[in-house]
Copies of this chain bind each other. A is one copy, B any other.
Amino acid sequence: MATIRDVAKLACVSVATVSRVINKTGYVHADTRHKVEAAVKQLNYTPNEVARSLYKRKSRLIGLLLPDITNPYFPQLARGVEDEMQKNDFRIIFGNSDENHRKEQEYIQTFIQNNVVGVISSTNDPNSDTYSKLKIPVVFLDRTSTDSPSVYSDGREGGRIAAREMISRGSKRITVMQGPVHIRPAQDRFQGALEVLEENKISYNVIQTTSFSFAEAELWAKELFDKHLDTDGIIASNDIVATAVLHEAHRLGRRVPDDVQIIGFDDIPLSALLSPSLSTIHQPAYEMGRQAAGLLIKLIQEGFVEHRNIQFPVHFIERDTTRKVEHHG
Contact = CB atoms under 8 A, between A and B. Distances in A.
A49 interface: yes
A53 B113 CA distance: 11
B275 A250 contact: yes
Given A70-B76, A113-B49, A275-B274, A82 B94 contact: yes
Contacts of A270: 72, 214, 240, 243, 270
A208 interface: no
Interface stretch (A85-93, A178-186, A188-196, A292-300): A85-93
B91 A92 contact: no
A65 to B, nearest CB: 12
A138 B303 CA distance: 38
Copies of chain A in the complex: 2
Contact of A95 (B46, B92, B250, B273): B92
Interface string A246-269: 110011000000000000000001
Q: Which of A60, A74, A86 has the most CB of B within 10 A?
A: A86
B93 A86 contact: no
A84 to B, nearest CB: 12
Contacts of A247: 273-275, 277
A141 interface: no
A229 interface: no
Contact of A75 (B69, B113, B273): B69
Interface residues of A, number: 57
A274 B275 CA distance: 8
A74 B68 CA distance: 13
A290 B218 CA distance: 26
A72 to B, nearest CB: 6
Interface in A60-84: 60-61, 64, 68-70, 72, 74-76, 78-79, 82-83
Contact of A94 (B94, B218, B251, B275): B94
A244 interface: yes
Given A113-B48, A275-B275, A91 B93 contact: yes
A218 B277 CA distance: 13
A247 B274 CA distance: 6
Contacts of A1: 135
A127 interface: no
Interface in A30-65: 46-51, 53-54, 59-61, 64
B82 A114 contact: no
A132 to B, nearest CB: 15
Interface of A: 1, 46-51, 53-54, 59-61, 64, 68-70, 72, 74-76, 78-79, 82-83, 86, 91-96, 103, 109-110, 112-115, 135, 214, 217-218, 240, 243-244, 246-247, 250-251, 269-270, 272-277
18 contacts: A49-B110, A50-B54, A50-B113, A51-B54, A59-B114, A60-B110, A61-B93, A69-B69, A69-B75, A69-B79, A70-B76, A86-B95, A91-B95, A91-B110, A92-B94, A214-B272, A218-B272, A218-B273
List the 7 closest A-B pairs by CB distance, nearest first.
A49-B113, A250-B275, A94-B94, A214-B269, A243-B273, A69-B75, A50-B54
